[in-house]
Structure formats: C-alpha cells, structure tokens
Amino acid sequence: MQNETITQAVSERYAKAVTTGEEMCCPTGYNHEELGKFIPEAVLKVSYGCGTPVGLTTVQPGETVLDIGSGGGIDCFEASRRVGPTGQVIGIDMTDEMLALARSQAPIVATNLGYTTSNVDFRKGFADAMPVEDHCVDLIVSNCVINLAPDKLNVFSEMYRVLKPGGRFTISDIVADQPIPNYMIHDKEKWGDCLSGALTLGDYWGGLRQAGFGGIHQVGFIPWRVIDGIHFLSLTLTGYKLPSASAQSTAHYATFTGPFSRVTDEQGHTFTRGIPQAIDATTEQLLLSAPYREYFVLTDSPIALTREDPRWISIRPESVPCVWEGHFALLTGPFVEACDDDDHTFTCGHPMEICSKTLDVLRNEVYRPYFAIINRAGETVTPQATTSCGPTDGCC
C-alpha cells in the first residue's frame, strides 16, 4: 500500500471521529476529571492515545514542548499549564478538522489558566516532515501517533533534528512482538486501529537509536491485544539527544553495579558487574543519562566491587524446579544486550521464552524496568516441572 493511501485513510478516519465521537484505539485513558478543570469537554471527548503523557511530569517552566499528532489538543493544553506563560507549546497534526477544533479551544484554555494569551501554536504538518525549526525543542511527546506514520525512520530523524542538545522525548506507541504480516499491512481499516503500522519493539528501539538518540528506555508498558497470534503492546519510551561530550571529562572509569552480570550499552561497550572499565568522554555522557547513572559508579581511578559491597546488585532465582508457562521476556533497553546470573542473554526487542524461576527474577523491582513480559500460551498450560535444568536445557 502506498504511503499516500495510508496517510489519507488515517486522516479521514480521525477527521470523521471529530463529529462522530468514535472511540479510537485506547489501551489507557486520561484523567478527565482533573483535566476538565481547564480543558473544554469538546477536546476531552476526542482525545485518543495508548499511554498517558508521563513525559509532561518532567517539564520545567519556560521550556518548549512539541506534541506530534496533537489532535484536539489535550496534551498540548496540559503542557501549556506545566510550562507556564513563559513557555511555548507546538502541536502538529495533519487533520484539518482536529486542527480547527484545537485552535478554537486554545483561547478558552488560556483564559482558564489565567494567561493573557495562548502559548500554544497548532501547525498543520506531518510527523516525517515537521514544520519546526532545528534545535528549538526541549521535550517531544507523542501519544499513539508514530505507528500511523508510513515512514517511521524519517519521523525519528525529524525528532532528532528539532530537539536541542540535551533535549528528550517521551512517546507512547503501539509495538508488536513480531513482524506484521502483509495481509494486515494492506488493510486500511487496521491502520486506523493502530495495528497495521506497528513496528516490532526491536525495530522501533533500533530506529530511534539509528536516528542518534541515547539512553532509550521503557517508562511503562501495557499488554493490549492479541490478534492472529501477534501481541500488541502499549509501550512508553524515553530517550535523549545527548549533548556533546565535554572536553574536560571528570571520570575515566566506569564500574557496573548490576543487577545483570554483564551488559552492552548503546555504543557497543560491554561492562561486567564489579569490574572497572576505562571510558572516554562520550561514554561518560551516555552513562550520566537517567537510565544508566543509577547503576554505574563513575570514578577518576579504577574501583572494583565485590559481592560484599552494598552497591553490588544481584538477584538469583530460588532453588526450586522450573516450569514452562508460556512467558516471554522482551528487553526494552537501554542496553543492547544483557546477561543475568543464570547466563540467559537477552537482546533488546527480541522475545525470549523464560521459565517460572526466571519470570520471578525479572518481576523483581530492580529488573522490572528493563522488560516487557507477555504470555504466548493460547490456552491454560498444565505445567510439567523441570527437575534438571541448566543453560544446556534452555532454562536456568
């Protein structure tokens, strides 16, 4: 199906929803009671998405926020409240009907917030060719929109272009655990349902990395639908346009504390828990980003950690038989690859079948932020205990 056909079909679907009030794909909703205190009902009733815009909680007064696929304007208006009258919000949408609605409500929201004029600018445009200047945005948000774009690599490149160095994104979108088959890709109706355009988690994460982003990590996921054996997930990711490395590096060594026994970062460096490794200024910049800094000790001279060190993190499975229950784990970043204490090697975005013991480990609070867990068992499993298990048996 040609890109123009897809874009037209999606635009027509969302334009129609303005008047019909059709419920679009929405694994999660908004707190209408809270937002209704300053956002008109006309906006609330056409607000669609697959995740709450958690990135908005990081906004500082005076920042510039960009919303890709702004629709009726709900996320833009919430961003407007958070950045304050000195900040700026840009909303981009391709649907005239949505833009007309959002623009008509902007003065009302500004008045409700006590602003003399609206600080929200709604622009007509496409996610893969955004009408936004280079390096002018602090935060990008998007809620279940990028999966609707035919050329997602261009979208990711545009995001990188418009962000300031040090800027960030938080985007919620639908991803799949396996490639979408052609019969679904060529179904116009399923494009509007946020299904046909879904990338695999690995391709989505890899596309963001290819665009130049670093520190790409999960901040939330919800299993959504299973269609013809394909698992669709609502995933929220955050990542950064890392600033240029400082000429004066303050750290020359990094020691990984766990919980994995070994990890490979987005730049291809492999770290073994407890063993200091020399780093350059660029790697230091990456390890200072939010998803890394809690689990790395950065020092001027090498410092090794032992199991007795309180900074050493290790979660081992219980000494009980394992059972297979149909669970699969998907590493969601920021690491390209990670190995646990049972020698399971996880690759970002690739589902790996896990037994009950490994499932319990990955559900621990220190592992949970790194994984999305799905169950592919089509019916209730009658598990058979595995009495002898080890790496050669594909288990622990």
Superfamily of domain 3-240 in CATH is Vaccinia Virus protein VP39 (3.40.50.150)
Q: Which residue has the higher pLDDT, 329 or 195?
A: 329
Compute the average pLDDT of residues 4-9: 50
Q: Which residues contact 211 (CB under 8 A, 6 or more apart)?
A: 153, 156, 157, 159, 160
pLDDT digits (tens, 9 = 90+) for 124-135: 999 999 999 999
**Fold matches, 3-240 and 246-314:** no
| Each residue's pLDDT tens digit, 239-283 | 999 988 765 667 799 999 999 999 999 999 999 999 999 999 999
Most confident option among 25-34, 151-160, 385-394: 151-160
Phi, psi torsion values for 395, nearest 5 degrees: -125, -150
Residue 179: the pLDDT is 95
3-state secondary structure labels for all residues of 237-281: EEEECCCCCCCCCCCCEEEECCCCCEEECCCCCEEECCCEEECCH
Confidence check: pLDDT of 2 > 60: no
Task: Say whether pLDDT at 237 is over 50.
Answer: yes
Tokens standing for residue 357: 């013991």
95 within 8 A of 15, measured Cβ to Cβ = yes
* Per-residue pLDDT, 32: 73
Q: Which two tokens stand for residue 95?
A: 């649907």
Residue 14 above 60 pLDDT? Answer: no
pTM listed for this prediction: 0.88
How would you classify the pairing of strands 163-176 and 199-200? Answer: parallel
Mean pLDDT of 349-361: 95
Q: Evaluate whether 293 touches 338 at the Cβ level (below 8 Å).
A: no
* DSSP string computed for 116-154: SS--EEEEE-BTTB-S--TT-EEEEEEES-GGG-S-HHH
The tokens of 48 are what? 């669609």
CA dihedral 42, 46, 51, 55 (to 10 degrees): -50
| End-to-end Cα separation, the chain, in angstroms | 45
Instruction: Determine which helix (DSSP H) or strand (DSSP E) holds 282, and give its type and residue range.
Output: helix 281-287
The mean per-residue pLDDT over the stretch 298-310 comes to 95
Range 77-106 average pLDDT:
95
In terms of C-beta density within 10 A (0-12 exposed, 13-18 middle, 19 or more buried), how is residue 369 classed?
A: middle
Collect all residues with Cβ–Cβ distance below 8 Å to 39 and sequence separation of at least 6: 73, 74, 77, 78, 105, 109, 112
DSSP letter for 26, please.
-
Kindly tell me if the per-residue pLDDT of 380 is higher than 90.
no
Length of the chain: 396
DSSP string for 75-88: HHHHHHHHH-TTSE
Whole-number mean pLDDT of the chain?
87
More confident residue, 155 or 222: 155
Distances (CA, A) of 187 to 10, 50, 183, 374: 11, 21, 7, 25
- Do residues 349 and 290 touch, judged by C-beta distance below 8 A? no
Domain residue ranges of the chain, discontinuous segments joined by +: 3-240, 246-314, 327-393
Beta carbons of 89 and 58 less than 8 angstroms apart: no
84 and 126 Cβ atoms separated by less than 8 Å? no
**Is a pLDDT exceeding 90 seen at residue 202?**
yes
Residue 387 has pLDDT above 70, yes or no: no
Question: Architecture of domain 246-314 in CATH?
Answer: 3-Layer(aba) Sandwich (3.40)
- Say how far residue 94 (Cα) sits from the centre of its chain: 23
Q: Where are the beta strands (DSSP E) in 308-354?
A: 327-331, 337-339, 345-347, 352-353
- 94: pLDDT strictly greater than 60: yes
Going through the chain in order, the beta strands assigned E by DSSP cover 64-68, 88-93, 120-124, 137-143, 163-176, 199-200, 214-227, 230-240, 253-256, 262-264, 270-272, 276-278, 296-299, 327-331, 337-339, 345-347, 352-353, 371-375
